[in-house]
Amino acid sequence: MRLSIKHISERNKLLLLSLAVGLGSGFASVALTWLIRAIKVFINEGFAAQPYNWQFLVFPGIGMFLSLMLLHFVIKDDIGHGVTKVLLAISRNDSRIKPHNMWSSVLTSALTIGFGGSVGAEAPIVYTGAAIGSNIGKRFNLSYRDVTILLGCGAAGAVAGIFKAPLAGVLFTIEILLFNVSMSSMLPLLISTISATVVSYLCLGQTPVFACTLTPFAMVNLPFYIILGVVAGFGALYFTNGTLALEDKLSKFSNRYVKCILCAFGLGLLIFLFPPLYGEGYDSLGALLNASEITIEGHSFLSHMMDSPWGVPVFFAMIFFAKVIAMTLTNAGGGVGGTFGPTLFAGAILGFVVARTLNLALAGTGYSAPEQNFVLVGMAAMMSAVMQAPMTAIFLIAEISGGYGLFIPLILTSTVSYGTVRIFDRYSIYTKRIAQRGELLTHDNDQSVLTLLKTSDLIRDKYPRMHIDDDLGMVVRTLSNSDAQVFPVVDENNHYQGMVELANIRKYLLRTDLYKKMYVHNLMTDAPSIVHDTDSMMSVMAEFDRTGAWRLPVLDSEGVYLGFISRSRILTAYREELKVISQD
């Protein structure tokens, strides 16, 4: 007897599909890692031992241009800001992601990073994994809830595969992507992350991504870690707000090719001056984590700076500030990459700067900050503050480095940096813009349900239209054929003009002498408020609360009347949606 997938229970089907999603995400992570390495080997042949050469000026721009061409002529879609796009897919697109995202982010980000673009591969692979989960869920006609779980499985598997960190993958999905994770959702997430990690182990080996030897934790250094946490919190404010502000300025360039050229020139110059900005920068992090000095040759000014004790932290502080600019130029110029990797890089640099500055300031006192530890803990502190995901940061850094002996400073510093940034900003770099548009799902069920509801889906057009020039006799004939209590008034182009309420005109209905003397424009009133079909449900509910109205007219962007939206219809939809997201 042959068993069809149709005869498998929904729960078991979800578990089987989560395994498939995890394997797919794991292989996608391996493919991206191999592609980046292959491109680097191909273009860097003969350049490795020649600092400050034209490679740094030219190659990053070539990668950006190739990515831009693919995006414009082949993919024909905007695939940047991968994590933010996943959040939008969950809240505004029924967790549906286009099929091309299962490969487009891998190809374009490999070109961008392989040629030296100063971005990370993690956000593109999260978008890829989420697309794999979404499309598999769509292929098997799963519900919104189950498609969302598979989308989360894909994202979790992608993080687990790229970092060989299964627990971090689960926590990333819970803290950043999925707003309402029940216990029944945990098992698919775990299956996906474990399967993706096994694929990564088999293909890339079991060595941690940032293997290093650390100094044992000492309680005497706790004040230093608190200082690092505070500094990382303010550094995260610069990282987030600087990135978004620069993106806004660069978005004013309407010609994509002019913008690509300008961004390529700026990026090339920054990398030429600060070679650690080339690519993901993980080679530099490996050197810092293993107490290897980063030497700068071929540039007299920077070489002299590195020879000075205080010049070293100054140089690396310059790299920290330049990283935000380089990352933004890469993405704005047509490259595809994420902020995940740059966050780790910036945190490591900041940790080193704080430790070296403390050691220089405390020289001769007998106190010192362990620089390798601070590099590692700085990565967690910056990630915790920029992404506002402290649990992900703590366990990711522990998993990718084997630094489980630093749990206390990891937890302390991540908590302090997270608390510092939350004083000034409620939203992470991924959520700030979509939160401002009212499109962000949160762990607050009430707000999440309202975010999921779409105004356009709740419009009812059952109310007969009246034209502004109709007389009272025509109004009476319209009323006799309808049991509605309110009637929209439109002009010849169906543009909304006002509304006629039965209660307000009842006294005229039997006045036959007025049938040819009174007109709709004498009888209509203004609506308490007007909403548009693109308005978020949060703003619509705010209008209902402000006006006390029971129903409001809905217009499109051109002022064309579409129908009415009522409190009762919203309440019914709210209850139905709440059942869907709350079921275990």
Task: Say whether both 71 and 137 belong to one domain.
Answer: yes
Q: Of 175, 204, 233, which residue sits at a domain end?
A: 204
**Is the domain of 167 the same as that of 231?**
no
Q: Which two tokens stand for residue 393?
A: 């940061």
Would you state the pLDDT for residue 182? 67
Helix (H) / strand (E) containing 553: strand 551-555
Domain termination site, one of 387, 419, 440? 440
454 and 535, same domain (yes or no): yes
pLDDT per position as a tens digit, 425-454: 888 888 887 776 666 555 555 566 666 677
Task: Please name which of 534, 532, 537 lies closest in space to residue 569, comparing C-alpha atoms.
Answer: 537
Can you tell me the distance from the alpha carbon of 199 to that of 24, in angstroms, rounded to the nearest whole number?
A: 9
Check residue 470 and give its pLDDT.
85
**Is the residue at 529 inside a domain?**
yes
Residue 211 lies in a domain: no
Judge if 421 and 290 occupy the same domain.
yes
* Domain presence at residue 474: yes
Is there a single domain that holds both residue 406 and residue 489? no
Instruction: List all residues 6 or more positions away from 200 whose beta carbon is below 8 Å from its beta carbon.
Output: 26, 29, 30, 160, 161, 162, 164
Range of the domain at 498: 449-582
**Domain boundary, last residue among 440, 474, 504:** 440
| 160 and 240 belong to one structural domain | no
Residues 6+ apart with CB under 8 A from 570: 453, 458, 537, 540, 541, 544
- Other beta carbons within 10 Å of 32: 25
Residue with the two structure tokens 């293909």: 203
Residue 434 and residue 14: Cα distance in Å, rounded?
29
333-342 residue pLDDT tens: 999 998 888 9
Q: Can you tell me the distance from the alpha carbon of 52 to that of 49, in angstroms, rounded to the nearest whole number?
A: 10
Are 225 and 142 found together in one domain?
Answer: no
Number of domains in the chain: 3
Alpha helices in 362-389, H assignment, sequence order = 371-386
Asked if residue 396 is part of any domain, the answer here is yes
Residues 225 and 345 in one domain: yes
**Quick one: angle between helices 340-361 and 282-289, nearest 10?**
30
Question: Pairing state of beta strands 486-490 and 496-501?
Answer: antiparallel
Helices (H), 387-494: 390-401, 407-424, 432-436, 445-452, 472-480
Same domain, 409 and 471: no
Ranges of residues in the chain with a pLDDT under 70 are: 1-7, 45-53, 179-183, 291-307, 436-452, 577-584
Same domain, yes or no, for 358 and 319? Answer: yes
571 and 513, same structural domain?
A: yes
Alpha carbon separation from 192 to 29, 153, 327, 401 (Å, rounded): 13, 6, 30, 22
Judge residue 438's burial from the number of C-beta atoms within 10 Å of its C-beta, 0-12 exposed, 13-18 middle, 19 or more buried: middle
Q: How far apart (Å, rounded) are the C-alpha atoms in residues 137 and 148?
A: 8
- How far apart are alpha carbons 63 and 109 in whole angstroms? 9
Any domain includes 212:
no
The CATH number of whichever domain residue 254 belongs to comes to 1.10.3080.10
CATH number of the domain encompassing residue 532 = 3.10.580.10
| Distance (Å, whole) CA 318 – CA 353 | 10
Residue from 181, 179, 157 nearest 90 by CA:
179
Same domain flag for 370 and 422: yes
pLDDT of 296 reads 53
How many residues are listed for the chain in this entry?
Answer: 584
Tokens at 299, concatenated = 């540039």
pTM (2 decimals)? 0.79
Residue 540 domain-assigned?
Answer: yes
CA distances from 403 to 18, 126, 141, 209, 495 (A): 30, 24, 43, 12, 65
Residue 66 domain flag: yes
Distance CA 430, CA 86 (A): 10
Q: Is residue 214 part of a domain?
A: no
Find all residues with CB under 8 Å of 222, minimum gap 6, and list them. Answer: 409, 412
Q: Smallest Cα–Cα separation from 455: which of 569, 559, 308?
A: 569
